[in-house]
Amino acid sequence: MSDTPENGTSPTSEDAANELITPAMRLLQLQTRHRALDNKIAEMYEYPYQNQILLQRLKKEKLQLKDAIERLKDEMIPDLNA
């Protein structure tokens, strides 16, 4: 039998997909996606006939990401009830 599955991926890539994501890694992913959306939105403003519906959806997704980033940051900071 072969070590690689039928779909052509290696066993190490499957193991990597099952790894736990730390809160810091998740925060980095969210911030990267937020920056990418920000760049996409800015790029869309450069065109005079931008798709308004797509622009609204991107802005909404960006706000949701911002909220998720803030919640994750709050969870990462320990409560100091002193």
pLDDT in tens, 8-59: 444 555 555 667 888 889 999 999 999 999 999 999 888 877 788 999 999 9
DSSP designation for 10: -
What pLDDT does 72 receive? 92
pTM of the complete model beyond 0.85: no
Compute CA distances 17 → 7, 11, 13, 21, 70, whole Å. 15, 10, 6, 10, 25
The answer to whether the Cα torsion of 22, 25, 31, 36 is positive or negative is negative
